[in-house]
Structure 1
């Protein structure tokens, strides 16, 4: 869906609107994708488990007239905003808990070749945005105070950095 969102912050709510309005199943994936070129913008992809549901959603979104709806993905590295278990990723969790209760396959720590300890505490800041890397949904984290980790993407980024 191309709703013409100028940046990631503006696009974050876009996958939730059709999911809520159309009562999409809990295994729906909603991702944002940066589109570069003449008109830089962020588009949204929704991944649904059945073809009839996909066709119905595409038709209803097109009828709503608030975005261009086309088939396919703009790229293979979408940033997941809506994914199974996303609503449970609040507060502080261990890496093992995060992996067990969500669709995230792996956590990486910037600057480290090793995966984090499963018991490492991750302070979510209620803003977890993993990205697709091949077939894996991967959350990039960074070390923080108190021997904790935080997701690399901050919930309130500096405006100059929101489209990187």
Structure 2
């Protein structure tokens, strides 16, 4: 269990291996689960690339409030395809190989993972200032690629492209930025990323 930044109360992490192969497929799965399960705004949903001797793919973790975790656990199998692996502490569901990767995903946050849903992500549309990004979302740290020690002024603007995927780095939700046209900044990951650009497991 963990208590992520900008999320009130105690949370638990559920790992999911639904057979998604790419980040794009996993992103779509996350958004579908958020809608179907009516998950609250303080949920963190992350992707985690994995490789085994048999296959490679993208697992998902859902960090949900402890008060909701039993309901989510009960509903998840109904919302996912047969053969999905689920893991929550000592609880598991599904075939052994999928459960094994689900366990890896459940154990990853907040040390690692690429966040698709997190508190405040709904505010990250269009162009936002650095101050708003840090004040209104769970993102805690901004890093400019090639200049990791650069201090960004609060008024600096970030062109989100409605696609902002920070990653957990040692317990800190960190967004990597790159310079963009017109003196703006933009997230390093562009929409419809490829796995080679985001291997964060």
Length-normalised TM-score, structure 1: 0.90
Stretches of structure 1 lacking an aligned partner (at least 5 in a row): none
Partner-residue secondary structure (3-state), 1:15: helix
Q: Which runs of 5+ in 2 are unaligned?
A: 1-15, 89-102
Per-residue deviation, 1:37? 2.2
Aligned to 1:35: 50
Asked if 1:121 corresponds to 2:163, the answer is no
Q: What per-residue deviation string (whole Å, max 9, x for no partner) do you get for residues 101-121 of structure 1? A: 111111110111223222111
**In structure 2, what is the Cα distance between the partners aligned to 1:8 and 1:135?**
22
Residue in structure 1 matched with residue 38 of structure 2 by the alignment:
23
Matched, 1:155 2:186: no
Residue 108 (str. 1) matches residue 143 (str. 2)? yes
Measure the CA separation in 2 of the matches of 1:11 and 1:123.
Answer: 24
8 Å contact 2:33–2:79 — kept in the other structure?
no
Query: Which one is further off, 13-22 or 1-10?
Result: 13-22
Q: Does 1:57 pair with 2:92?
A: no
Q: CA deviation at 1:21?
A: 1.4
Deviation at 1:43, TM superposition (A): 0.6
Give the CA RMSD over aligned residues: 1.8
* Cα 1:148/1:89, change in 2 over 3 Å: same
Supply the distance in 1 between the matched residues of 2:121 and 2:86 (Cα, whole angstroms): 24
Distance 1:46 1:19, change over 3 A: same
Q: In 2, distance between residues paired with 1:11 and 1:91?
A: 23
User: What are the within-5 Å matches in structure 2 for residues 73-88 of structure 1?
Assistant: 73-75=106-108, 76-88=111-123
Match of 1:68 among 85, 95, 98: 85
- The answer as to whether partners of 1:79 and 1:132 remain within 8 angstroms in 2 is yes
Matched residue SS, 2:65: coil
TM-score between the two structures when normalised by the length of structure 2: 0.74
Spell out structure 1 runs of 4+ moving beyond 6 A. Answer: none
Distance in 1 between the 2:127 and 2:139 partners?
Answer: 16
Count of residue correspondences: 162
Identify which range, 103-112 or 13-22, moves more after superposition.
13-22
| Alignment match of 1:146 (pick from 182, 189, 197) | 182
Cα deviations across residues 19-68 of structure 1 (Å, max 9, x unaligned)? 21122221011001111222110011000111x42122122112445122
